[in-house]
Amino acid sequence: MLPNSSEMHLDTISNGNTMQHTLDCDLNQRQKRRCTAAAGLDETGRNQTDFVQSAMTDTSAETINSSTKTLPTPHMDLDSQSSVHDSHYPLHKEISFPAADVKISAYHTEWQTTISSVLPALVSIRFSQVAAFDTEGPLTSEATGFVVDAKLGLILTNRHVACSGPFLGEAIWHDHEEVDVFPVYRDPVHDFGFLKFNPTEIRYMGVKEIELAPDLAQVGLEIRVVGNDAGEKLSILSGSISRLDRNAPFYGDMTYNDFNTFYLQAASSTSGGSSGSPVLNLQGKAVGLQAGGHTKAATDFFFPLDRVKRALELLRNDQIIPRGTIQVQFLHRPFDEVRRLGLCKETEETVRKLDPKEIGMLVADVVVPKGPGFGMLDEGDVLITVNGQVITKFVPLEDILDNSVGKSVHIKVERGGEELEFDIPVQDLHSITPDRYVEIGGAKLNNLSYQLARQYCVPVSGVFLSEPAGMLRLTGAPDAGWIITTVDTIPTPDLDSLIAVFQKIPDRKRIPVTYYSIADVHSLSVGIINVDRHWSSFRLAVRNDKTGLWDFTQLGDPIAPIAIEPMNATFQQLDESLGPAQHLFQSMVKVNMSIPCRIDGFPKSRKQGAGLILDSKRGLVVVARNIVPFAMGDVTLTFSDSIIIPGKIEFLHPTQNISIVSYDPRLIGTTPVKSAPISSVSLAQGHRVTLVAFNHNQHPICIETTVTDISPATIPINAIPRFRAINFDSISLDTPLAHQCSSGVLADAEGRVQGLWLSFLGERTSSGGDNEYHLGLDIRFIIDTILPSLQKGVKPRLNGLSAEFVPIQISQSRNMGVTDEWVKRIEKANPKRRQIFMVKKTETGMKTGQVLKDLDLVLAISGKVVTLVSELDVREDWGEFIQMTVMRNKIEMQLTVPTDEMDGDSTHHVVIWGGAILQGNALINGL
């Protein structure tokens, strides 16, 4: 299911029987497909359908994360079918002859009888592909199917419904009985598959089956598409077959596409959820299988049932369904195009005499490298005969190939007017269709499929990264279609080779992985990964077509990590013109956080930023909490861009945007790191400072600038609960370069640190991204309240008010009851920062909220006038209660307010079940 965006346009170029689609997207296609599918709508708010890219759709209504959302549909009154049919028979209202009325009425009655007779054979299908596999990611969706063998319990539907990967689904009958279904066959190429159910579980309704009649499909045939269109369980859409020889529709790159078959075409205006619907004639026989359609037209595409009927017969006899291939994609081209390719007049005459209705011939469009046909057939070859039989259609071609697996076929083609003949071996198509995958380090991999290899004209070999996540979230677009070539310098031509390599690599070892995009095989990339055998499993999943399940096998216990040997490094020499602040880079490290699963509403799986060494002897480093958001994950520290060692999370501040991590100083040997020199002077508006940071290219920079403002900041609330810094004064700088640097420090003229420059995680944007705010933070509160305890090896115990405070103007406070006496006391207490703080909200379920109320104005704490937000922040010296003077509803009150013990690490336990990540509700109840 691929979304359209406001920047996506469709270029439809009629070229024989083909249709090209051009996509202009501001985001990569697979990422947009997974993000927007969760809402069931495209980015412009239009209805989404399965496997849609550009203007093509596979029509099943998709959602993700087990939240099935059906697509809206125009109102349709199923009881007024005759009025719908009147649009097809306008003479019904104009001709007054009773005999004509009787005939038309009888025609409508026949269709009503037909629809009623097939309802016991129709099912709505709710299904999930629970893991990424081959061309598709995990999804939850709805579609349609119909019974083709009531005795054996066989349901026909689309391949993209039966899923190439792990499947979980149920069928809902017309009387709302539900039964579990599982796939027993999905075609390697064509868009059909069979699901199986237990007929004895249907208790209240007699199950019927629909007969397959592919020979009855013809141009002009009146048809009805009956199915779960738009997720409405039952919709009846009418139309007439307009084409029998349309080439297979193209749904987009990096997704499933059918080929080497004709499709039927009609204008029936189906949408998401109708995938797998029967295309019925007046006698109630299926002449086609609904598969896809146009998003900007009424045109729909039906899969013909010739090969489906063959597969069904073999299934009924419990036989293997043989499928053969020479790894060549053919397209049907009209005679005027084929003549331009050099077709001889004599050949055209022969073909037209054999079939006067024939309008074209099959032409080789893609010859897959290293396949059976490679080196013999070329693109543009016109197919003449196979085993002496003139072939101009796909069904007889496939019939010969399917019956010749393991043998050779004699093929005659014309190339530029010259006849050529070849004996080409026929390969088992199932052998190049993946039926297993590996999970390791949060990623999933399978052998490259013929489906993708044909699409990009590359050999069917290599390991395809179907889910680039966890340790294998490689640099570049996540939907680029990465092929892994080596792991730790060892070639991995197939899945078995990759398994053998990873079984020998210790946990947490850093190794190189080389890879390339399937769309650009000539550009090889390399990435350094941390092998993860401790957060996730290493197992093999193999499809079992007998049970419909996937059998999982653990691939061995992890090898213990190798002990890290100490290493030495030196720091980059910077120009002396940068002043004393340049030496602060010896007190800075790069901190990397790798997150195995997303909790606490945090949107990323990896973060990197600069940290400041507070104590080099004890290995204590302060970093933004936007970089290290919680304790679940792996932290590494990079010194001088040379040494990488593991870190440990020591402390997460409950309200401020800081975390403290530690490292073992012995592991960096004699590397000349230093504890950062700290200034005793707090920053003020107008002060000159030097921003010492790493820019977006991770290069060190020093910029002298001016503090433009220091004031309380409010980070916008996100719709999904997650950590948000509150009750702090932010520092703003007079340089646009500050916003290009996500982390660093603010130093005075002597190179002493006065503040931190940090990235703050904000709210989710309407486009699906996340805002980040780059702001400064005074460092004194860390040195005074946090560092001393950590230097003693003790975690700070902080008490505070579980509330968020915001400043208001003195003029506003007067209107809320603050007297002139209090205004004078506030002005005297702090002539530079005259402000009063109001309770914006209190945290649910905490003791503070039992006494303090929203909109209270805080005047004093323990008799001291409050003029700074830092005086309301968490502290170590606060006891169980504090005395507060507040103004509430214009009444001055003396309150004994209980404090709460604050713990920044809100999530301690996570349960992963059924694809969901479950955790406690600390953030939900919080601010």
The residue ranges of DSSP E strands in 174-254, in sequence order, are 178-186, 193-196, 222-227, 235-247
User: How many degrees, rounded to 5, is the angle at CA 739 between CA 736 and CA 740?
Assistant: 100
Residue 57 contacts residue 292 (beta carbons within 8 Å): yes
Q: How far apart are CA 819 and CA 827, in angstroms?
A: 13
Token duo for residue 706: 């001016």
Active-site residue identified among 191, 229, 402, 479: 191
Active-site residue identified among 160, 332, 653, 774: 160
Could you tell me which of 225, 227, 243 has the C-alpha nearest to residue 281? Answer: 225
| Beta-carbon count within 10 A of 860 CB | 19
Residue carrying structure tokens 């003790």: 794
The residue ranges of DSSP E strands in 85-177, in sequence order, are 122-129, 139-149, 154-157, 167-172
Beta bridge partners of 711: 730
Which residues make Cβ contacts (< 8 Å) with residue 844, sequence separation at least 6?
A: 925, 926
Residue carrying structure tokens 């009773």: 98
Residue 588 contacts residue 615 (beta carbons within 8 Å): no
Q: How far apart are CA 911 and CA 914, in angstroms?
A: 10
Could you tell me which of 907, 897, 830 has the C-alpha nearest to residue 858? Answer: 897
Which residues make Cβ contacts (< 8 Å) with residue 758, sequence separation at least 6?
A: 609, 624, 626, 657, 658, 742, 743, 774, 775, 776, 777
C-alpha of 582 from chain center: 42
Active-site residue identified among 164, 235, 274, 906: 274
Tally DSSP H helices, then E strands, for the chain: 16, 53
Beta bridge partners of 621: 613, 661
Residue 637 contacts residue 644 (beta carbons within 8 Å): yes
Residue 870 appears among annotated catalytic residues? no
Q: How far apart are CA 568 and CA 432, in angstroms?
A: 50
Residue 108 appears among annotated catalytic residues? no
What per-residue string of b and e applies to 615-651 under the rule 16 or more CB within 10 Å gives b? bbebbbbbbbbbbbbbbbbbbbbbbbeebbbbbebbb
Which residues make Cβ contacts (< 8 Å) with residue 478, sequence separation at least 6?
A: 28, 30, 31, 468
Beta bridge partners of 891: 888
Token duo for residue 20: 């090209």
Token duo for residue 683: 């920053």
Residue 888 contacts residue 853 (beta carbons within 8 Å): yes
Residue 191 appears among annotated catalytic residues? yes
Question: Following DSSP, what letter does each residue of 741-790 receive, concatenated?
Answer: -SEEEEE-TTS-EEEEEEEEEEEEPTTS-EEEEEEEEESHHIIIIIHHHH
Type of residue found at 490: I
Type of residue found at 499: I
| SS3 readout for 658-718 | EEEEECCHHHHCCCCCCCCCECCCCCCCCCEEEEEEECCCCCEEEEEEEEEEEEECCCCCC
Could you tell me which of 61, 65, 78, 59 has the C-alpha nearest to residue 34? Answer: 65
Q: How far apart are CA 741 and CA 676, in angstroms?
A: 19
Type of residue found at 422: F
Which residues make Cβ contacts (< 8 Å) with residue 437, sequence separation at least 6?
A: 131, 133, 165, 444, 445, 446, 466, 495, 540, 541
Q: Looking at the annotation, which residues are catalytic?
A: 160, 191, 274
